Amino acid sequence: MTLRGLEVLRTVDVILAEDTRTSSRLLNHFQIQKPLTPYHQHNEHKVLQHLVDQLVAGKTMAVLTDAGTPGISDPAFLLVRECIRNSVKVECLPGATAFVPALVNSGLPINRFCFEGFLPLKKGRQTLLKKLATEERTMVFYESPMRLVKTLEEMATYFGPDRQCCVSRELTKMFEENKRGSLTEVAAYFREKQVKGEIVLVVAGQES
């Protein structure tokens, strides 16, 4: 946790938290007592206008997510966009973002890459995979432990079984793991074990 981050949390009026229980542990550790308001993917549309109204009226807020940077496959984008539309000042504090160390760990070319986040669960999934099969840049995905093997197997079908990849799990944490190899090899590896934690999947682009 950066000194600047702690200063912001101590000075804002309200802290928006993806999970108030997780954020409470952080705040308690640093002895910060501020009102916590739930702000997550299930309520962000519902509470958006109310939050913007408060910001326009002069309140200051900070957004905390459970892991990673707010707005990167986490709640915050909608709020940032509305703040800009309403001339509310927005500051982004640098912090942990899983896909950057995953890219470096992968050993794949990172001079050019594209971030795809989570693949669609159903509608448009196959269409997107077919389109990405010819992508020449290194590709970065987020994936859940439950869907990892299925996604690797689907990519092996559309991208080819020998396409190189790296699965980074629980980055910067105690049980960090980086598994490199072909899509087929990595799928076989994770098929034999119980997968847990937050996952970043880095896949080589199509060779030109």
**What CATH number did the domain enclosing 41 receive?**
3.40.1010.10
Radius of gyration of the chain (CA): 19
Residue 92 lies in a domain: no
What φ, ψ does residue 198 adopt, rounded to 5°? Answer: -85, 140
Distance CA 119, CA 128 (A): 8
The H or E element spanning position 157 is helix 148-159
pLDDT tens, position by position, for the chain (208 residues)?
A: 889 999 999 999 999 999 999 999 999 999 999 999 999 989 999 999 999 999 999 999 999 988 778 888 778 899 999 999 999 999 988 777 889 999 999 999 999 999 999 999 989 999 999 999 999 999 999 999 999 999 999 999 999 999 999 999 998 888 899 999 999 999 999 999 999 999 999 999 999 8
Q: Which two tokens stand for residue 83?
A: 């703040």
Pair (59, 143) in one structural domain: no
| Total of domains in the chain | 2
Helix (H) or strand (E) holding 159: helix 148-159
Do 194 and 111 have their domain in common? yes
Whether 73 and 113 map to the same domain: the answer is no
| Residue 93 lies inside a defined structural domain of this protein | no
| Same domain? 104 vs 198 | yes
Do 112 and 185 sit in the same domain of this protein?
yes
Edge to edge, the sheet with strand 14-17 lists 36-38, 14-17, 61-64
